[in-house]
Amino acid sequence: MPEADPDQARCIFATELPSHKTTANSPHGQTSRHGRCAHHALHPAPDHAVDYPALRRLLDFNIEGGVEYLVINGTTAESPTTTAEEKAEILRVVKEHVAGRVPLVYGIGGNDTAGLEILLRTTDLTGITAILSASPAYNKPSQQGIIQHYLRLADLSPLPIILYNVPGRTSSNLTAETTLRLAQHPNIIGIKEASGNLEQCMVIAARKPEAFMLISGDDMLTTPMISFGAEGVISVLGNAYPKRMSDMTRLALQGDYAAATKLLFELLPLNPLMYEEANPVGIKAVLEALGLCSPAARLPLLEATEGLKQRIQKLL
């Protein structure tokens, strides 16, 4: 496994790419993706195979739009419904196509610590800069359990780890105290904070080590979080609007909050529609409307309803 310099992971804007899949009635083989480079490879169902040309097109679209790194195998990429073989092929294709143009972060998270240790040992992480690891979902560990989980991964991982706190999906929250405790580990370099709790984020910003990155995991909270110390965003809307989101992020980092907020408000009406029928269903519908990918999703998720698509179209 390669050694990585944690400083190489210090980028300000990323999109987590959704999965790219085709459907039987999708003659152009389009695909879709989610913020932070997550990709779907060939699915056993013929109407949900990964469309690699569309995947490559979306990679280029994001890089040309100004993102500073990409996340592979993130939750928006529908990682819960891809096989180990698919994940490996997606990772191979992405690394080959990106060819070092931007750093890559790879998602390895779950609620089985021992299983994740195996993945860290066996996944080909050549060319990857850091690991994004979501907090354990469903079994709802205690804060001490979460700490021990991440410490085990950080001790083993050949790459720096970015924590991911998203209570809306995991049903457990990394408290500020837990995050600050984990921030002391030399191989834990940041957190994607998607709790929506700005006070909690402020406590982290106020007390974290200087080199530890606080990263917004909520598009709409990016500008306010940057105002008190966040360093960027891992974005969902950035898949469809990479330039607008990257411009917004950089303006906020430069202290031009008025200009950043103006760009943010342009996306405000669209944002709730991204999650109305679950993520990445909404962003896939946007990408379809923009002619970039198919809206297909794997069960138990469904393609966006016509009603949702129509409301999204009116805002584009």
- Prior bond of 18 cis (ω within 30°): no
Amino acid in the structure at residue 19 = S
| Whether residue 192 lies in the annotated active site | yes
174: left (phi over 0), alpha (psi -120 to 50) or beta: beta
Phi then psi for residue 233, to 5 deg, are: -145, 145
Which residues are bridge partners to 71 per DSSP? 16, 105
b (16+ CB within 10 A) / e for 67-91: bbbbbbbbbbbbbebbeeebbebbb
314 belongs to the catalytic site: no
Catalytic entry in 21, 87, 95, 192: 192
In the chain, alpha helices (H): 52-64, 84-98, 113-122, 143-156, 167-170, 176-182, 198-207, 222-227, 242-253, 257-267, 281-289, 306-315
The C-alpha atoms of residue 6 and residue 195 are separated, in whole angstroms, by 24
- 21: how many CB neighbours lie within 10 A of its CB? 33
One of 106, 164, 208, 309 is an active-site residue; which one? Answer: 164
Instruction: For residue 146, give both structure tokens.
Output: 């979460």
Rounded-to-integer distance, Cα 259 and Cα 265, Å: 10
Residue that is written with structure tokens 């469809």 in the block: 240
Burial of 153 (0-12, 13-18, 19+ CB in 10 A): buried
How many whole angstroms separate alpha carbon 223 and alpha carbon 259? Answer: 10
Catalytic residues, by residue number, are 164, 192
